[in-house]
Amino acid sequence: MISHLVVGSINWDVLLFLKKFPSSGEEVSADFIFESPGGKGGNISVASSKILGNNEVGLLSIIGNDLIGRKHIKMLRNKGVITDFIIRHDKIESGKAFVIIDSKGRNLIITKKNNDAVIDEILNEKNSCKLMETIAELKAITITDLPINFIEKLLSYKHNKKRLIIWIPGLRSNLKLIKLAKLFNQINYLVLNESESFQLTNCPESVNACKKIMGTNKDLGVIITLGENGCLYAKNDQITKIPTINLSEMGLLPVNTAGSGDVFAGTFSSLKILNYEDKDAIQLALLAGSIKVTKKEIQACPNLNQILQFIKKYKINFKYDLLC
């Protein structure tokens, strides 16, 4: 029986590596192009499987009944992810994402998701009984940027009440705090990046955004990732700054930042299942995301032993700053 269920989208990624982003109307040449599986759900489930091991992580998603969908299923299985809850739908095409990466590893991402209109079919009567049986045995569920009505229905399952729930709202952050706050009492952790925290709260300063979110539920663990500056962690009226490593000081270069947030989320969720304390899980997850940034592949996720060996090799000392 799986211990971690990831609920999220699957996309087929086309990555274009350039020296620099083009200006409006400018044509630039790609240094090289390659394709790989992706999407938040796929990326997080692969990252989690690297930490927890084969057949410990399941993915709940929907894809087209097409060549791309079949490639996804095969590749996820090869990476140890249970695909029993991935529905192949005859009336949609599998989603695609186009990722443009410059020489500094920064990225622009354009997605074409086709599953939102039919995502509720995952929770139909035929599938819900099997899903509820699985949820009863889970240790954690990680939910990504799916339609709110779908998330509300998923969270209403009575077996969810004792499970660890991590929500990564992503683009749903633009629905604002007043719309989403009612869900915060049903989850344990909320994970956002800087731009998403601003969209959600209208607070340009991340510390103030944390305070505003904590005002809805002080027991909620709030994590705002800050890229190369680490992240903020807030809970029980305290806010802590958790730094990450400086790659250049270690002689390492950023290659591709796309997917690093998903590696963070998958690693953090898995370490919580393994009973790590919040701050320790966050620090190791930040490190996992940084290791991924040095690789071109979207799903270049380290396992726990690789993370610990990285700490030993570079003699990394963890430190936290209590801000308030």
The per-type count for the chain, helices as H runs and strands as E runs, is: 10, 15
- The answer, yes or no, to whether residue 158 has pLDDT greater than 70, is no
Alpha-carbon distances, residue 18 vs 104, 108, 132, 283 (angstroms):
10, 11, 46, 31
pLDDT digits (tens, 9 = 90+) for 124-150: 656 677 777 888 889 999 999 899 999
pLDDT attached to residue 117: 66
Three-state DSSP state, 67: helix
250 has a pLDDT exceeding 70: yes
Residue written as tokens 């240790």?
Answer: 139
Each residue's pLDDT tens digit, 19-77: 999 999 999 989 989 898 999 999 999 999 999 999 999 999 999 898 989 999 999 99
Domain-wise residue ranges, the chain: 4-9+40-92+114-322
Query: What pLDDT, on a 0 to 100 scale, did the predictor assign at position 260?
Result: 94
* pLDDT score of 282: 98
Q: Write the DSSP assignment of 170-200 as a string of letters.
A: GGGGGG-HHHHGGGGGG-SEEEEEHHHHHHH
Does residue 123 have a pLDDT over 90? no
Residue-wise pLDDT tens digits, 251-300: 999 999 989 999 999 999 999 999 999 999 999 999 999 999 999 998 99
Superfamily name with CATH number, domain 4-9+40-92+114-322: Ribokinase (3.40.1190.20)
Percent of the chain with pLDDT over 70: 96
* Model confidence band, residue 4 (pLDDT cutoffs 50, 70, 90): very high
